[in-house]
Structure 1
Amino acid sequence: MQRLDRQILGKDMLASLVVFLVALPLCMGVAIASGMPPTAGIVTGIIGGIIVGALSGSPLTVSGPAAGLVVLVADMLQRFGLAMLALIILLAGVVQILAGALRMGVWFRAISPAVIHGMLAGIGILIIGSQFHIMLDRSPLNSGVANLMDIPNAMVETLSHHGGNLPAAFIGLLTIAAIVLWTRYAPPRWRVIPGALVGVVLAVLVANVGGLEIKYLVDLFAEPAQLGSLFQIALPDWATLREGLNGGLLLAVISLAFIASAETLLSVSAVDKMHSGPRARYDKELMAQGLGNSLCGLLGALPLTGVIVRSTANIQAGAATRTSTILHGIWLLLFVGAFLFTFNYIPVATLAAVLVYTGYKLAYPKVIKELAQYGKTEVAIYAITILSIVFFDLLTGVVVGLALSLIKLIYIFTHLAVWVEEEAHGRKTTVHLQGSATFLALPKLANVLECLDYGREVIIEFDDLEYMDHACIELIDDWQKQYLGTGGRVHIDWDTLISKYHDKFNRRALPA
């Protein structure tokens, strides 16, 4: 037993180092993309590892700053300022705690996959648009569409040395190339080392050995970063709080809580499919995420979610327990305490390149084939969600996607297709029912049945029927009795129909 415990601890130790190496560049890159200093992302990673990791309802899920929240956080930072953003994150955490306590975790899982994937793809496109400019040592523009439209101009200016930085572009492309080549061609046993880390290390070496005059992380700080300056409460004073407590702020709180919870539980659901250990407890996970986000708000850090990239790395590296997640947070804490001097050597362009690649992975439409199996409507919802996010904002896109999913659901449960086939040279008529036969479709069904010619042999097929309510069953029963009186014959598999939809229906009232 003791030997087994040591083996498990050894696996978790190795996995935690791998996750740390994956998380470090992403924590800093997400922070920069959100308009925050890189240390804000690392602090969020520490809280996600140590606090959330210890309390998580999904032990192998790794939490930290997520690319999926970049667009939302950057927008809130611009609209409300840093102090109010900290309050929004804190209150969003409280909302998550309450949601978990009220056992609402399962409802977050009910969000349509088309909306979730559309949200992630839309975020990916916006990340590419903004981070592409940062990768060129340029400043991103004030909207996602503007960033995307300006990419060709940024490339021309960079190549012509007007308003761009060719060395920064070279470092960014070198980072992406290293990630892609390492991911595809590195020997399998070496792939435990994350491609993002390989790309960043290579870029750091080239930039510093070559003495390239580009932006480095240290340039993002107004003053030297010290560990003690990271853990400061950034909440607003009462005067600012009274002015800021309005509908816009409350909507921001709900939006952040909703989107962070949806992304977390999507990741948790995916993680559950990757291992055979204990299944996730969604409500407990929500409460752990809420506590983590409340702490992030108090410390003026970024919000956190469960992150699928780090969680996948954790499982693939052999993690057996939550110890791996907790240890990765400890390694991040040690890095902040001892290795902040490395910010002098890490190019901003290389972290932006990591996020450009991450955005590409989020936006790549590989999920369309899967969604198409469930109908063209799912693909349409996915595409419209993406366009709404890109042309408007993240919240609008998600709301549009949810509204379309609801409209589809209402259509499915109210739409009934009825068509009649008649033998050309016989006296047989077949009535086909497809969809949902509810009281809302009763007039349509009654009209078709009443228009059938008398004296024929009628067969009612309901193999393609999703649902039939009591009102429609009674309608067919009454129509059958009337039609039999005209000398016709009716074939209905009542036993199958009633057992499929209404076992408690009074069978004695139905014809034999």
Structure 2
Amino acid sequence: MFRDTLSSRLSTLRHDVPASLVVSLVAVPLSLGIAMASGAPLAAGLIAAVAGGIVAGALGGSAVQVSGPAAGLSVVVVNLVLTYGWRATCMITLLAGAVQLVLGVLKAARAALALSPGLVHGMLAAVGVTVALAQLHVVLGGVPRRSAVADLIELPGLLAGLLAGLHGDKVLTGLLTIAVLAVWTRLPRRARTVPAPLAALLVAAGTAWLLDWDVTRVTLSGGAEWAFPVLPQGDWHLVVAAVLLVALLAGGESLLCCVALDERRGRGRPADLDQELTGQGVANMVSGALGGLPVAGTVMTGAANVAAGARTRCAAMLHGGWVLLFALGFGWAVPLVPVEALAALLVCAGVQLVNLGHVRKVHGRGEVPVYAATLAAVLLLGLTEGVLAGLALAALLALRRLTWVTVLKRAGGNGRLQVTVSGSLTFLGVPRLTRELRTIPAGTPVELDLHIGFMDHAAFEALHSWRLAHERMGGTVEVDEPHDEWYALATGGARPGPAKPPPAEPGRWRLSWYQRRRRPARRPAPAIANGGSVQVECRLTAGPREHHRRAAPPVRPVLTEPAPRPQPTHLFITCADSRIVPALITGSAPGELLTVRNIGNLVPRRGSEPSDDSVVAAIEYATQVLGVHTITVCGHSGCGAMAGVLSGGVRAGSLPGLRRWLRHGHHSLARFIETEGDRLHGGALDVLCRVNVQQQLENLRTYRKVDEQVRAGKLELVGLYFDVATARAHPVPPLRATPLVKTADGRVRTGEE
């Protein structure tokens, strides 16, 4: 056991050590550049990288998250430095870490994920634009201003100076750095072993040294001696606001980055967000006490860690150790780096924060107004004011969505008008509701369907008053509530409140006819005249009427929307037994399953007699036209067809067609006798039902196209056994296991050797 544990740890380190080296090579130049953009000593960036790597890596809740100074916080830090000074900014960082620690202990991390995506991405985009504009001034030989608007106003003057040839060497250094960053990603994989930021700085520094360019040099310490942080002087309300701002921004960026890395990684245990927030808090306290920048998880270093093959938190901790080793042993190399090269690096980092993929994502969720408003407000007013403006707009839009009422009217049968009201009925939606209801002609029979999640008293009064007035004018109103019975409760004297009533019974389509007859009817069953006598309507005629009222409205858009129309991705072969409902067993929506049902869920082998073109046609269409991903064979307990096979056809009686069909189950019986011969008594039928599923999966492999697609890993054969008594579906393994194979590009997929 000790040997296995040691071997496992050594195998992990073989992945984590190289990954930590790659991440440290990315982190060192970024840390220096972020420190410069924040108006802090350059050593503060390295201190934050060390604290984030070692402390947050050891105490955090993610195995691959890498923490350090974040470009998104540089705008906040530079304002804090200008307002309170550097030592007071360090104290704000320390106090922000304490706030994060408390929030993590209180399990409040999930609350950060409730923020609007448009707000978060709009804030990051605005910070990216601000950072890029400020550092572009440095590249062009100017000095950054305190706002993005001021930087933008002065940009034409700097461009004019560039055309006049001023600051030529400095501009060339910055442009060379940007060019290397742009070209590096297009080089072959072997050439990209060195991370792009490090390569850009090496090329720029080497070129400036060889050609003796006139560039600005930096120093690691910035002329500052370490001293313990001091409390900020000024209005304590503003100090508290600054502490909360740093804590929430750093914590929110870390948690969102953590979730994004979990999605990118796609394997392993998901991150513990509360533990991650706790680790970030301790790291910020250490960084602030030692004179470092605020710490946060960053997408750039985290993505580099995942891409380099990191498996455990050891990679992040080792990365912090490598950065510390660089600061202690190679600090002499920092003055060789031109300031313009670091500024160009920050320009590219800022541009990367403006992600067009995020714009497409928020557009799909209707968050573009929040994104645009937050972006504009942060650029024009400042970070705090912009975030508050984005929060206010997001809250207003959420309130609008929650209170939006949709009223659809369409003609029904027998001159009836079907009215469907959807949404939340509150006082804000009363004007629209009453306006639509008043357009209904007097005396019209109305079927009113309320698909609502809430109804306040004002909405009830408006709806009930209209109903009474409509009925006084000779019309009729039948109110149906498929979900929660808000109107019925209020009509009966119960006051609608914020708490929802107990869940309603399952929809009628899930109940048997016997159960439906036991339920109290909402309306009298219609009768059909037949030669002077009254005949009760056939239950299979009433069923479609119920479908038209309840199921058809929500299903119709799925089936009729122009694009993309649903296309089945699974072929489901099951028994004709009425207790087997494929949509319920698999939780599938209309359009997702191509279903084949027959007696005994049998799949005739290729070329067998009697032939069955129906099943064969379905298999051919599913695999060659639809390109389904899986074919599932689902058997069930107590199958009558298998009882007939087990009896040798005796139970088929005088049904010649059934006896011929059950011949396709002889292979299942033979395999059952061969493998389960000692279980011919006691539970033999259910064992045969399971074996039959396995045999039908084998029968599918007799079809050439199916077998080829299974071998290529494009098609999966799945067996299910539905236990009727417990209403549970259990997986049935196929007789031939499908191994994993490695493709030419190095990925592992399902297939056969």
TM-score calculated relative to the size of structure 1: 0.89
User: What is the CA distance between 1:25 and its match in structure 2?
Assistant: 0.5
Residue of 98, 110, 113 corresponding to 1:109: 113
User: What is the CA distance between 1:81 and its match in structure 2?
Assistant: 0.9
2:204 counterpart residue number: 203
Quickly say closer, same or farther: Cα 1:315–1:505, change in 2 above 3 A.
closer
Task: Single out whichever of 433-442 and 332-341 deviates more from structure 2.
Answer: 433-442
Whole-angstrom distance in 1 between the partners of 2:263 and 2:355: 22
2:173 counterpart residue number: 171
Whole-angstrom distance in 2 between the partners of 1:342 and 1:386: 38
Task: Single out whichever of 439-448 and 285-294 deviates more from structure 2.
Answer: 439-448
The reply on whether 1:452 has 2:453 as its aligned counterpart is: no
Query: Which letter maps to 1:179?
Result: L
The reply on whether 1:267 has 2:257 as its aligned counterpart is: yes
User: What is the CA distance between 1:482 and its match in structure 2?
Assistant: 7.5
Q: Which runs of 5+ in 2 are unaligned?
A: 487-499, 506-518, 525-753
Deviations 1:233-278 (A, max 9, x none): 3322xxx65x435111111111111111111111011011122111
Choose 1 or 2 for highest CA Rg.
Answer: 2
1:454-493 correspondence runs (5 A):
454-461=442-449, 465=451, 467-469=453-455, 488-490=475-477, 492-493=479-480
1:178-197 correspondence runs (5 A):
178-183=180-185, 185-197=186-198
Is residue 452–residue 483 contact of structure 2 (8 Å, CA) maintained in 1?
no
SS at match of 2:219: helix
1:404 counterpart residue number: 393
2:425 counterpart residue number: 437
1:133 counterpart residue number: 137
SS at match of 2:269: coil
2:303 counterpart residue number: 312
Whole-angstrom distance in 2 between the partners of 1:300 and 1:358: 24
Whole-angstrom distance in 2 between the partners of 1:37 and 1:319: 31
Is residue 22–residue 305 contact of structure 2 (8 Å, CA) maintained in 1?
yes
User: What is the CA distance between 1:446 and its match in structure 2?
Assistant: 5.3
Query: Which letter maps to 1:336?
Result: A
The reply on whether 1:120 has 2:124 as its aligned counterpart is: yes
Whole-angstrom distance in 2 between the partners of 1:370 and 1:468: 29
Is residue 438–residue 467 contact of structure 1 (8 Å, CA) maintained in 2?
no
Task: Single out whichever of 321-330 and 134-143 deviates more from structure 2.
Answer: 134-143
The reply on whether 1:494 has 2:494 as its aligned counterpart is: no
2:161 counterpart residue number: 157
Is residue 82–residue 234 contact of structure 1 (8 Å, CA) maintained in 2?
no
TM-score calculated relative to the size of structure 2: 0.61
Whole-angstrom distance in 2 between the partners of 1:74 and 1:254: 16
Is residue 47–residue 291 contact of structure 2 (8 Å, CA) maintained in 1?
no
User: What is the CA distance between 1:60 and its match in structure 2?
Assistant: 0.7
The reply on whether 1:91 has 2:95 as its aligned counterpart is: yes
Query: Which letter maps to 1:321?
Result: T
Is residue 126–residue 390 contact of structure 1 (8 Å, CA) maintained in 2?
yes
Whole-angstrom distance in 2 between the partners of 1:482 and 1:124: 59
User: What is the CA distance between 1:179 and its match in structure 2?
Assistant: 1.0
Is residue 42–residue 220 contact of structure 2 (8 Å, CA) maintained in 1?
no
User: What is the CA distance between 1:167 and its match in structure 2?
Assistant: 1.0
Is residue 71–residue 126 contact of structure 1 (8 Å, CA) maintained in 2?
yes
1:226 counterpart residue number: none
1:368 counterpart residue number: 359
SS at match of 2:223: coil
Whole-angstrom distance in 2 between the partners of 1:318 and 1:72: 33
2:320 counterpart residue number: 329
Whole-angstrom distance in 2 between the partners of 1:406 and 1:116: 14
Quickly say closer, same or farther: Cα 1:294–1:219, change in 2 above 3 A.
closer
Deviations 1:180-232 (A, max 9, x none): 1111x211344343211111111111011111111112398337xxxxx5xx3
Task: Kindly indicate which of the two structures has a greater share of residues assigned to helix.
Answer: 1
Is residue 192–residue 317 contact of structure 1 (8 Å, CA) maintained in 2?
no
1:413-424 correspondence runs (5 A):
413-418=402-407, 420-421=409-410
Is residue 470–residue 502 contact of structure 1 (8 Å, CA) maintained in 2?
no
Is residue 22–residue 196 contact of structure 1 (8 Å, CA) maintained in 2?
yes
User: What is the CA distance between 1:504 and its match in structure 2?
Assistant: 4.6
Whole-angstrom distance in 2 between the partners of 1:510 and 1:394: 57
Deviations 1:451-482 (A, max 9, x none): 633432223355xx563337567976786687
1:8-27 correspondence runs (5 A):
8-27=12-31
Query: Which letter maps to 1:416?
Result: V
Task: Single out whichever of 118-127 and 270-279 deviates more from structure 2.
Answer: 270-279
Is residue 67–residue 297 contact of structure 2 (8 Å, CA) maintained in 1?
yes
Kindly, what percent of the aligned residue pairs are identical? 33
Quickly say closer, same or farther: Cα 1:504–1:5, change in 2 above 3 A.
closer
Query: Which letter maps to 2:258?
Result: V
Q: Tell me the number of residue pairs that the alignment of Structure 1 and Structure 2 aligns.
A: 493
Whole-angstrom distance in 1 between the partners of 2:310 and 2:410: 61
User: What is the CA distance between 1:328 and its match in structure 2?
Assistant: 0.3
2:338 counterpart residue number: 347
2:38 counterpart residue number: 34
User: What is the CA distance between 1:303 and its match in structure 2?
Assistant: 0.4
1:247 counterpart residue number: 237
Quickly say closer, same or farther: Cα 1:495–1:410, change in 2 above 3 A.
closer
Q: Which runs of 5+ in 1 are unaligned?
A: 224-228
Is residue 477–residue 510 contact of structure 1 (8 Å, CA) maintained in 2?
no
Root-mean-square deviation (Å): 2.9
SS at match of 2:407: strand
| Larger RCO (CA within 8 A; separation ≥ 6) | 1
Query: Which letter maps to 1:61?
Result: Q
Whole-angstrom distance in 2 between the partners of 1:325 and 1:94: 22
Query: Which letter maps to 1:248?
Result: L
Quickly say closer, same or farther: Cα 1:148–1:440, change in 2 above 3 A.
closer
Query: Which letter maps to 1:278?
Result: R
Whole-angstrom distance in 1 between the partners of 2:432 and 2:101: 48
1:214 counterpart residue number: 215
Quickly say closer, same or farther: Cα 1:470–1:148, change in 2 above 3 A.
closer
Whole-angstrom distance in 2 between the partners of 1:447 and 1:135: 61
Is residue 103–residue 277 contact of structure 2 (8 Å, CA) maintained in 1?
yes
1:356 counterpart residue number: 347
Is residue 41–residue 302 contact of structure 1 (8 Å, CA) maintained in 2?
yes
Quickly say closer, same or farther: Cα 1:53–1:210, change in 2 above 3 A.
same
Quickly say closer, same or farther: Cα 1:400–1:10, change in 2 above 3 A.
same
Is residue 43–residue 221 contact of structure 2 (8 Å, CA) maintained in 1?
no
User: What is the CA distance between 1:448 and its match in structure 2?
Assistant: 4.6
Whole-angstrom distance in 2 between the partners of 1:309 and 1:398: 23
User: What is the CA distance between 1:385 and its match in structure 2?
Assistant: 0.5
Quickly say closer, same or farther: Cα 1:221–1:440, change in 2 above 3 A.
closer
SS at match of 1:353: helix
Quickly say closer, same or farther: Cα 1:470–1:383, change in 2 above 3 A.
closer
User: What is the CA distance between 1:317 and its match in structure 2?
Assistant: 0.3
SS at match of 1:418: strand
1:233 counterpart residue number: 227
Is residue 70–residue 295 contact of structure 2 (8 Å, CA) maintained in 1?
yes
Deviations 1:65-100 (A, max 9, x none): 000001010011101111221111111111111111
Whole-angstrom distance in 2 between the partners of 1:301 and 1:422: 70
